[in-house]
């Protein structure tokens, strides 16, 4: 009984994850196909489950878990709760890399496209991180705003390239996040590798969030761990973008919501973070499939609406919290 009292939050997340996973498998445009018909061995249900619903649900879980972890690592590296792949230009750089691979190589292998996206995402993240470190901005809420501007510049370059090469339609397709795509879900499984590495290095990734001097005093190679973290972020962002398109706000709001529950210890909460992120995206995916049933809304639209509201709440809390802190400091100084 004592165990359940201490772990009730964690148990709630696990139960919600199981329920939403089953609902995701149950929901579909074909009313005659359900979990019960699948368990009875119906031939059509078996085919639909094995070739559509199960791969889609796995893709939702892995993409959500990956982007949640990527956001948490980016926030730890930058020591800023408003940082994520979508607010640091990483996603926009991945889109530019994918467009360049299409322009010069055409409809090539998905893994080749992922490598282009990975390279551009990594370079774009490194560049933004270097710029932010040089500016030394005191107001943390300004950093994601600069990141959105930076991503907008990269997006403008991609739009100009698409206009010159007459690939605007292709770029528009890239920038629509959807799990209704078929044949590309195998790229999402690449996320398993950085997720495993994140779990192994969770303690070190948590320590670097305390600052370079503190990490070095504990004997860690700060630059090496930061480089590993950026590679994890770029790899997750690239593979998920190529497979399902952009999923905005996941890497931003999920780490903030979970750290408010479990604290900033990455090692202790990283599995909970994956499950919580999966629950959020599973719920949004189910809503996207039901809101205009039997048709389907792009999940990026659903996540943008819900995530945008949550982001604004956290942003306003950060602004007002910063003002209260400055007032308190000025009063104490006088």
CA 76 to CA 88: how far, in whole Å? 14
Contact 238, 111 (CB under 8 A): no
CA 215 to CA 171: how far, in whole Å? 41
pLDDT recorded at residue 4? 63
Selection from 193, 171, 209 nearest residue 77 by Cα: 209
Question: In tens digits, what is the pLDDT along the chain, a chain of 334 residues?
Answer: 665 666 777 888 899 999 999 988 888 777 677 777 777 877 888 888 888 888 888 988 999 999 999 988 888 887 778 788 888 888 889 889 888 888 888 776 677 888 888 899 889 888 888 787 777 665 666 777 788 888 889 989 999 988 888 888 888 877 777 777 655 577 788 889 989 998 888 888 888 877 778 888 887 888 888 888 888 988 888 888 888 888 888 888 888 888 777 766 677 788 888 999 999 999 988 888 888 777 778 888 888 888 888 878 777 775 555 445 445 444 544 5
- Under DSSP, the state recorded for 140 is T
pLDDT recorded at residue 326? 47
pLDDT recorded at residue 184? 59
Task: Please report, for the chain, the start and end positions of each structural domain, with discontinuous segments joined by +.
Answer: 2-76+83-329
pLDDT recorded at residue 6? 64
pLDDT recorded at residue 333? 46
CA 286 to CA 106: how far, in whole Å? 33
CATH number among 1.10.10.10, 1.10.3470.10, 3.40.50.1820, 3.40.50.300, domain 2-76+83-329: 1.10.3470.10
| β strands within 28-166, DSSP E | none
């Amino acid at each position: 009984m004592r165990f359940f009292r201490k772990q009730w939050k964690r148990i709630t997340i696990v139960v919600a994850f199981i329920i939403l996973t089953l609902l995701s498998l149950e929901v579909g445009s074909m009313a005659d196909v359900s979990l019960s018909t699948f368990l009875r061995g119906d031939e059509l249900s078996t085919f639909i489950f094995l070739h559509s619903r199960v791969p889609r649900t796995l893709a939702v879980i892995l993409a959500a878990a990956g982007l949640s972890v990527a956001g948490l690592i980016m926030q730890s590296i930058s020591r800023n709760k408003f940082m994520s792949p979508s607010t640091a230009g990483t996603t926009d750089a991945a889109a530019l890399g994918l467009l360049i691979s299409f322009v010069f190589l055409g409809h090539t292998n998905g893994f080749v496209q992922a490598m282009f996206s990975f390279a551009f995402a990594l370079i774009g993240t490194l560049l933004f991180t270097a710029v932010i470190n040089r500016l030394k901005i005191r107001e943390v809420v300004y950093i994601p705003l600069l990141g959105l501007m930076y991503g907008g510049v990269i997006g403008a370059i991609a739009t100009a390239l698409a206009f010159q090469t007459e690939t605007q339609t292709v770029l528009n397709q890239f920038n629509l996040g959807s799990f209704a795509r078929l044949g590309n879900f195998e790229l999402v499984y690449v996320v398993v590798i950085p997720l495993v590495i994140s779990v192994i290095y969770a303690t070190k990734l948590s320590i670097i969030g305390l600052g370079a001097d503190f990490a070095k005093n504990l004997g860690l190679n700060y630059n090496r761990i930061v480089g590993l973290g950026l590679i994890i972020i770029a790899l997750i962002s690239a593979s998920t973008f190529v497979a399902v398109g952009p999923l905005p706000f996941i890497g931003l709001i999920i780490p903030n919501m979970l750290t408010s529950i479990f604290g900033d210890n990455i090692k202790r909460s990283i599995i909970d973070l994956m499950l919580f992120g999966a629950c959020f995206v599973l719920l949004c995916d189910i809503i996207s499939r039901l809101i205009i049933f039997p048709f389907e809304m792009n999940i990026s639209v659903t996540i943008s609406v819900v995530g945008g509201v949550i982001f604004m709440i956290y942003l306003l809390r950060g602004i007002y919290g910063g003002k209260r802190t400055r007032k308190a400091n000025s009063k104490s100084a006088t």
